[in-house]
Amino acid sequence: MHSWGGDQVEEAVAGCVAALRPAVDRDWTEVKASGLEWSCHETAFHIAEDLIGYAANLAGGAKDGYVPFEITLDEGTDNTGLLHLIESMGALLAAAVRTAPREARAFHPYPFRSANREGFAAMGVAEVLAHTYDIAGGLGLEYEPPAALAESVLTRIFPHVQPSPDHWRTFLWATGRGELPGRARLTEWRWNNNLVLPTDRLTLQGITPAAARDLAAGGDGGFDWIEGGPYDGTREASGFMLKAYEEGLHRPEFGVFALVRREDGRAIGGIGFHGVPDEEGRTEIGYDLTEPARGHGYATEAVRALSDWALARDDVHTLFATIERDNIPSHSVVTRAGFRKTGEDEEGLVYELGR
């Protein structure tokens, strides 16, 4: 999977500037952006603020809040200067994304209080696309970005939104700016960065639909795998997750996670849920490791972390795992993680862990 982020930020910003430049001679302070209380001038400045804010948080590795600073425009700055500011702030975010380490994460409040470099890039692109649309609408200008750009944002920070053939219209619907046949218009919306669960030696990193598509197709999903990875089970689980996403059934927190070693940032396996909890609060988990990573307790550590997180939720009461009869190491993993054998079926022995 090719590195994603910096090029897309620059592409979005270039499209924004190209769309708005024909109206630089108008007074943007006197025209409201479409659907907003802000003027077109305020909205354009907000784009620049978002871009530099994301760049600062990612580059500085902010942990508990936004980097405390503000930007201002010099007195007398015209609309051409404002567009140049957007270009400059976009260049800084693109540079921050390109130079950030693969495992870099920094503060963002929604929904899990952090984002990785792809997340910050996707949020920056989303702000540019959405607010350029708002400004263009207020000024009576035509604007529609490349469909692939909208799709790439949807598959990274809108995993809860069922895709449709029209990616731009889906993006507008997902951000409360448009309608799609068969779907009620949104009055509230948020994007959804991936969930990451830390353990002593690992991080369990939620796989996005973009990564799942690449893994299911034989790619690396954007992870740096050790020899032998990803294992077949991770690819298969990614395929199931992708199908759920395409059918509008995917809930990101009950998806698939890559197991990444903290010591070197390399992926060693996968873990996740077979689906969302049923009406009784039951859901099944599964996991695998690449062969070189086995025998070091990583699977037990991951199962414990995922189980603790899940059972702390109100909607989960029981976890279960079905283990093939001859898979002795996996029986040991779930037993060490606190599961107890409760039965068997044609697929193997069933283990459960409740609150």
User: Residues 116, 104: contact at Cβ < 8 Å?
Assistant: yes
Chain segment 137-173, per-residue pLDDT in tens: 999 999 999 999 999 999 999 999 999 999 999 999 9
Model confidence pTM above 0.85: yes
Give the separation between CA 12 and CA 124, rounded to whole angstroms. Answer: 9
132 CB-near residues (< 8 Å, 6+ apart)? 15, 16, 19, 20, 47, 143, 145
Inform me whether the pLDDT recorded for 2 exceeds 80: no
Q: Which CATH number fits the domain 196-354, given the four candidates 3.30.230.10, 3.30.420.40, 3.40.630.30, 3.40.30.10?
A: 3.40.630.30
Q: Residue ranges per domain, the chain?
A: 6-174, 196-354
The C-alpha torsion from 203 through 205 and 211 to 216, rounded to 10°, is 80
Question: What is the model's pLDDT at position 286?
Answer: 97
CA 76, 78, 83, 84 dihedral sign is negative
Overall average pLDDT of the 99-122 stretch: 96
Chain segment 31-49, per-residue pLDDT in tens: 999 999 999 999 999 999 9
Overall average pLDDT of the 226-250 stretch: 95
CA angle 198, 200, 203 (to 5 degrees): 30
6-174, CATH topology level = Four Helix Bundle (Hemerythrin (Met), subunit A) (1.20.120)
